[in-house]
Amino acid sequence: MSLFKVQDLWSAQCGDGAAGDTFHAHSLTIGMLGEFEHELMIVSNSTGCLKIFCLARDNPAGYLSDDCLLELCLAHPVMQTSIGKYVSGSQITYLATLHPKSISIYNLHVIPGTTQHGNEAQLQHIQDYRLAQFGSFRLLSGSFGLNSFHDCFAVVYLDGSLEFLDQNESVLVSLPDVLLPCPIVYVGTCDSFVLQTDDAMLTCYRYQNLISKKPSISWSLNLGEGGLGLSLVSLSMSSLLVCVGERTLSVVHENGFLVVAKRIQYSTQCFVTYNHPLPHDQDNFMILIVSDTQTMLLYDKHLTLTWSASLLRLPVSVKLYNTLHTSGKAFIQQE
């Protein structure tokens, strides 16, 4: 526990307290959506509830009704949301919602308010993608296959299988010895997917090998214990993988060699990585971890603890939120 305490600047009620109205690590998405000039906080859950918050004020003094840009209830449970260039030929970003059997694409329209009642927002439904099977768990998106025209989807199912969707084409792949969903990231610099499996292995597969249904392993690394989370840090010339285990914190190069590792004395609840360039080191990055002791800890790229503070409550997700004039606000979500 730290002697310092984190100061709450803003909070909002995401659910109504009904049965099943809970949130998890993938219930929160933050990013720029459509042509709107501010970053948005998108919250969803398995009841189909979806809320979009916009905190445009640099010095918030509590929740205002204008902070909730949009609230609606979808017809199907929302497993996860994602933001990306999902419409071919369009350079604006769209919202994707993952449902148990489908993916829906939406465009956000915001009409600036002319009175003190704030802006008016609407979600325009663009299209749906039908999934190959029931039981979706996780959604990834990116320029798979180095596609520069639009982002593609990768869906992780409850049985550990993967489905890749590129416009009207889809490929369903079952990985050897993977029977449950596990942490996974897409590494764009080498066009590969890296998985952190339950047998303490970090495994890399080329995207082209996966869609050809010949999932040969590019490289693998034994981390010594089961993985809890995996995050990608993009550098100027390559990428690094931050791997959180049960009691370890590791940084691995995209080619599969261990850069640095550290033993930790707590269990990680959630974490986020972000680039933090310095005048003498443009590839510097930081790791923000929330532990089971309700402590927020900040590590540099050498895994040296630089700062810590106590939280008032234990979250299930942490992300960074930026406004037009300030950056680096930590946005945490409770269950």
Q: What is the pLDDT of residue 2?
A: 67
Task: Please name the residue that has the structure tokens 């180095």.
Answer: 146
Q: Is 221 a residue whose pLDDT tops 90?
A: yes
Overall average pLDDT of the 70-99 stretch: 93
Report the percentage of the chain scoring pLDDT > 70: 93
Q: What is the pLDDT of residue 14?
A: 80
Under a CB-based contact definition with an 8 Å cutoff, are residues 286 and 297 in contact?
A: no
Question: Phi and psi (nearest 5°) for 113?
Answer: -75, 145
Band of the pLDDT at 59, cuts 50, 70, 90? low
Q: Is 1 a residue whose pLDDT tops 80?
A: no
Query: The tokens of 220 are what?
Result: 């693998």
Band of the pLDDT at 19, cuts 50, 70, 90? low
Overall average pLDDT of the 125-149 stretch: 92
Q: Which residues contact 180 (CB under 8 A, 6 or more apart)?
A: 158, 159, 160, 198
User: What share of residues in the chain are helix, strand, coil (percent, to 5)?
Assistant: 5, 50, 50
Q: What is the pLDDT of residue 111?
A: 78
pLDDT tens-place string over residues 258-305: 999 999 999 999 999 999 988 999 999 999 999 999 999 999 999 999
Q: Measured between alpha carbons, how far is 281 from 317 in angstroms, rounded to an integer?
A: 29
Q: Which residues contact 321 (CB under 8 A, 6 or more apart)?
A: 30, 39, 41, 55, 329, 330, 331
Of all helices (H) and strands (E), which one includes residue 84? strand 80-84
Q: Is 113 a residue whose pLDDT tops 70?
A: no
pLDDT tens-place string over residues 162-203: 999 998 789 999 988 888 899 999 999 999 999 998 888 999
Band of the pLDDT at 7, cuts 50, 70, 90? confident
Overall average pLDDT of the 222-247 stretch: 93
Helix and strand totals (H; E) in the chain: 1, 26
Pairing of strands 152-157, 162-166: antiparallel
Query: The tokens of 95 are what?
Result: 């919202």
